[in-house]
């Protein structure tokens, strides 16, 4: 019998494209339509991200999602496209902690290891031997991922996911969603800005930084807002060949990129408004914070040449900095796949697979993403993810 059910996915970034693809993998035979307003992806978070993956998180579900994300990226040619070349570099993350946070970080390390993450603790002597370019002052604990962590080309990943979805008969239409048609406790369709509409039995909110706005069309207070993050690209007299992604105690980060490096830092809380449509890099952050903080940690950066900078939007979950995944409790065919607060690409494979499992089997059959459900927001029970950058 022909499957007549229909899934509409708002947002054709990495979450939307992989959700379409995983629905087919899970055996969904009905119609799948991804609604994407801008096929150039000029402002999409996926295209503007730092495209890195780590297993070092404070919440177990995030570690599990990253382990699957890593497996997915490593096997991308078998899974998505034999031609896919995402330039995966597996140099790990080196995360530094000072005395006040070391205890918490040790507990997180034990949890990560118990789930199979290959993360080791290093002391100052280890740091001096392995990373002689690093100043280890005030470092109480350093943790290094020895597998399943690194970085890749997000644009290449997005294009591979998009092509793979199209090949599996997932339609990607250029349109701007602007509202919903509902009937009691169900979504019946998605309305477009051009006046047309798309009937749907399931609707996935994968609109990234704009997903809070999409939820508001239904009167749902999803605490996800766009927050601007600036990435600086620079050169320095230092080889990045074996260098991991470095997260300093100060919150500044850097990693190799091509012949140079990229790096950044979160703006101060009182200088971090809802980004609206502002994609202008915060240039002041480089001179004021990123450069001095990184140069104190990596002395070779005292001589630095800034090449360029860009800014993108995090889909920031203001409630607890964790993803929001799965159905709305009162609107069961409206599914969230958003709120990842800076770690949405690495978790896209696991989240997309979970959404597909929910649609096809009515439950999560691999990673239980239940802890990321909207229920915690409705019940005002945050599950904070402290390892965000
Ligand atoms: C500077 C920066 C660095 C980052 N670094 C990392 C990192 O190292 N590792 C990591 O895992 N993550 C990182 N992230 C986060 C990551 O990029 C996001 O979590 C991820 O890309 C989210 O994917 P998405 O598909 O949900 O969103 P997007 O890629 O933004 O896709 C959403 C799409 O929805 C479309 N859309 C929105 N509203 C509508 C509408 N009404 N109608 C139709 N289409 C609509 C948009 O055009 C957009 O293309 C970073 C983000 C930024 C900004």
Angstrom CA distances, 83 to 18, 163, 170, 175, stand at 17, 11, 20, 29
Length of the chain: 389
The pLDDT of residue 389 is above 80: no
Which residue has its alpha carbon closest to ligand 1 atom 21? 46
What is the whole-number distance in angstroms between the Cα of residue 12 and the centre of ligand 1?
9
What is the whole-number distance in angstroms between the Cα of residue 32 and the centre of ligand 1?
20
* pLDDT tens-digit series, residues 193-204: 999 999 999 999
Confidence of residue 2 (pLDDT cuts 50, 70, 90): low
Write out the DSSP string of 291-313: HHHHHHHSGGGGS-EEEEEEEEE
The chain-wide mean pLDDT, for the chain, equals: 96
Residues 6+ apart with CB under 8 A from 368: 61
pLDDT of residue 184: 82
Confidence of residue 38 (pLDDT cuts 50, 70, 90): very high
| Cα gap 358→201, rounded to integer Å | 13
Pairing of strands 324-328, 331-338: antiparallel
Tally Cβ neighbours within 10 Å of residue 363: 10
What is the whole-number distance in angstroms between the Cα of residue 161 and the centre of ligand 1?
14
The pLDDT of residue 1 is above 60: no
The pLDDT of residue 256 is above 80: yes
| Mean pLDDT value across residues 238-259 | 96
The pLDDT of residue 29 is above 60: yes
Nearest atom in ligand 1 to the alpha carbon of residue 17 is 25
| Cα gap 347→37, rounded to integer Å | 23
* pLDDT tens-digit series, residues 54-113: 999 999 999 999 999 999 999 999 999 999 999 999 999 999 999 999 999 999 999 999
The two structure tokens encoding residue 29: 């035979």
What CATH fold (topology level) applies to the domain 88-149+227-314? D-Amino Acid Oxidase; Chain A, domain 2 (3.30.9)
Strands of the sheet containing 197-199, edge to edge, are 177-183, 186-192, 197-199
Residue 312 near ligand 1, beta carbon < 6 Å: yes
| Cα gap 172→157, rounded to integer Å | 17
What is the whole-number distance in angstroms between the Cα of residue 210 and the centre of ligand 1?
9
The two structure tokens encoding residue 140: 């109480």
All structural domains of the chain with their residue ranges: 6-68+154-223+320-378, 88-149+227-314
Confidence of residue 386 (pLDDT cuts 50, 70, 90): confident
Residue 11 near ligand 1, beta carbon < 6 Å: yes
| Cα gap 261→229, rounded to integer Å | 16
Q: Answer whether 23's CB lies under 8 Å from 9's CB.
A: no
Helix (H, G, I), strand (E, B) or coil at 121: strand
* Per CATH, domain 6-68+154-223+320-378 is 3.40.50.300: no
Residue 162 near ligand 1, beta carbon < 6 Å: no
Which residue has its alpha carbon closest to ligand 1 atom 14? 342
Which residue has 């087919």 as its token pair?
24
């Amino acid at each position: 019998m022909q499957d007549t059910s229909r899934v509409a996915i708002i947002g054709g970034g990495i979450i939307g494209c992989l959700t379409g693809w995983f629905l087919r993998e899970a055996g969904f035979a009905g119609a799948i339509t991804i609604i994407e307003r801008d096929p150039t992806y000029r402002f999409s978070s996926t295209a503007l991200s730092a495209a890195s993956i780590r297993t070092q998180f404070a919440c177990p579900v995030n570690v599990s999602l990253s382990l699957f994300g890593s497996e997915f990226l490593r096997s991308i040619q078998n899974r998505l496209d034999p031609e896919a070349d995402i330039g995966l570099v597996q140099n790990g993350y080196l995360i530094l902690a000072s005395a006040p946070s070391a205890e918490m970080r040790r507990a997180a390390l034990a949890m990560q290891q118990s789930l199979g993450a290959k993360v080791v603790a290093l002391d100052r002597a280890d740091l001096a031997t392995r990373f002689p370019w690093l100043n280890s002052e005030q470092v109480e604990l350093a943790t290094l991922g020895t597998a399943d962590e690194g970085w890749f080309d997000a644009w290449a990943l997005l294009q591979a996911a998009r092509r793979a979805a199209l090949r599996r008969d997932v339609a990607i239409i250029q349109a701007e969603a602007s509202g919903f048609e509902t009937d009691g406790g169900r979504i019946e369709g998605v309305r477009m800005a051009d006046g047309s509409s798309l009937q749907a039995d399931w609707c996935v909110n994968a609109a990234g930084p704009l997903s809070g706005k999409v939820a508001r069309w239904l009167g749902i207070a999803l605490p996800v807002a766009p927050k601007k993050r600036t990435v600086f690209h620079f050169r320095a007299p230092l080889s990045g060949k074996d260098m991991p992604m470095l997260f300093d105690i100060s919150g500044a980060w850097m990693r190799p990129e091509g012949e140079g490096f990229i790096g950044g830092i979160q703006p101060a809380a009182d200088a971090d408004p809802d980004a609206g449509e502002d994609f202008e890099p915060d240039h002041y952050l480089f001179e004021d914070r990123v450069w001095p903080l990184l140069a104190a940690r990596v002395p070779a950066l005292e001589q630095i040449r800034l090449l360029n900078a860009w800014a993108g939007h995090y889909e920031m979950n203001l409630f607890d900095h964790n993803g929001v995944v799965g159905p709305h409790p009162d609107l069961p065919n409206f599914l969230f796949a958003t709120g990842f607060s800076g770690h949405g690409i690495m978790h896209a494979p696991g989240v997309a697979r979970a959404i597909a499992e929910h649609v096809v089997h009515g439950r999560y059959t691999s990673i239980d993403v239940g802890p990321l459900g909207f229920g915690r927001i409705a019940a005002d029970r945050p599950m904070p993810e402290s390892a965000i950058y």
